[in-house]
């Protein structure tokens, strides 16, 4: 299917350069880019917050920035 799309000149030049560097046509570059953009999104994975304390359950003191500066720089 044939369509007409307006692109900023700088973007078109970058696309032409990429297609040439990859040894492909501009049509194929646009097709692959659009296919990639339209892939289903992966659900974001939320990581658990790091646990405070040592593995044996003893609490660890958390220093304030001022205490850290004092410990590092005296």
pLDDT tens, residue by residue, 36-73: 999 998 888 888 776 666 666 666 677 888 888 888 88
Cα 29 from Cα 36, distance rounded (Å): 11
Q: Are 35 and 29 in contact (CB under 8 A)?
A: no
**Is 19 inside any structural domain?**
yes
What pTM did the predictor assign? 0.54
The answer to whether position 2 is within a domain reads no
Q: Quick one: average pLDDT of 1-20?
A: 94
Identify the domain containing residue 33 by its residue range.
7-38
> Is pLDDT above 80 for 10?
yes
Residue 15 lies in a domain: yes
Q: pLDDT at position 9, please?
A: 96
> How many CA atoms lie less than 13 Å away from 38 in the CB half-sphere?
6
Domain assignment of residue 52, yes or no? no
Are the C-beta atoms of 53 and 59 separated by less than 8 Å? yes
What integer pLDDT is reported at residue 32 of this predicted model?
95
> In the chain, how many domains are there?
1
């Amino acid at each position: 299917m044939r369509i007409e799309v307006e692109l900023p000149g700088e973007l078109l030049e970058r696309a032409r350069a990429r297609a040439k560097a990859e040894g492909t046509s501009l049509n194929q570059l646009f097709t692959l880019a659009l296919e990639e953009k339209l892939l289903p999104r992966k659900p974001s994975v939320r990581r658990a917050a790091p646990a405070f304390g040592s593995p044996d359950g003893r609490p660890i003191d958390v220093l304030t920035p001022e205490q850290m500066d004092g410990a590092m720089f005296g």
